[in-house]
Amino acid sequence: MERKNLPTAFVWNPFRELARLEQEINKLFNEFVPAQRTENVVVAPIIPKVDVYETEDKVIVEAEIPGVKKEDIEVKVKDNNVVIKGEIKREEEKQDKNFFRAERFYGKFERVIPLFVEVKPEEAKAKIENGILRLEIPKATAEKEISIKVE
């Protein structure tokens, strides 16, 4: 098949399509997770990464929240959801500094993690070590079936 001299705009270019797709994805992402600009520093929302798994008798939630002190964390179990709230505080003000790069995030965060098994929130235990919050919540045990003799 002979290729005719078509204007460049009409020749299909897979790399141009990938660049366009990337722009569309970034636009969509920025609509849902907007970044705030303060002077030359971008402040993005903080969303802790989590691992959620279960053992035979409990559900374990591990959240990555480096730089947060235990007194700045609030953990709740409500309606079979784990709610982790907290704040990463800046230790010293650096407003008069000339930054070459500012990528660390500071501010408040909240993460809601749905649990897919019934739990006993009153027996939950949480601890933080090396920037990892570990929450252990015992599973609610199902009532055992009991046979009742009919007289």
Residue 71 lies in a domain: yes
Provide the pLDDT confidence category of residue 148 given band limits of 50, 70 and 90. confident
Return the number of other C-beta atoms located less than 10 Å from residue 137's C-beta: 23
Structural contact between residues 51 and 62, judged by C-beta atoms closer than 8 angstroms: yes
On whether residue 128 sits in a domain, the answer given is yes
Rounded to whole angstroms, how far apart are CA atoms 9 and 151? 88
Q: Please say whether the beta carbons of 58 and 136 come within 8 A.
A: yes
CATH for 77: 2.60.40.790
* Domain extent at residue 111: 44-92+102-138
| Residue 97 domain-assigned (yes or no) | no
Cα distance between the two ends of the chain: 91
Q: In sequence order, what are the beta bridge partners of 63? A: 50, 133
Q: For residue 53, is it within any domain?
A: yes
83 token code pair:
């709610």
∠ CA 80-116-107, rounded to 5°: 60
Q: How far apart are CA 58 and CA 47, in angstroms?
A: 24
For residue 25, tell me if it sits in a domain.
Answer: no
- Tens-place pLDDT, residues 126-143: 999 999 999 999 998 765
Residue from 114, 113, 118, 112 nearest 58 by CA? 118
Question: Mind listing the pLDDT tens digit for each residue in 44-83?
Answer: 567 889 999 999 999 999 999 988 888 999 999 988 899 9
Task: Tell me, yes or no, whether 51 lies in a domain.
Answer: yes
Write b or e for each residue in 39-74: b if 16 or more Cβ atoms lie within 10 A of its Cβ, otherwise e. eeeeeeebebebeeeeeeebbebebebeebeeeebe
Quick check: 125 pLDDT over 80? yes
In-domain check, residue 127:
yes
Count structural domains, the chain. Answer: 1
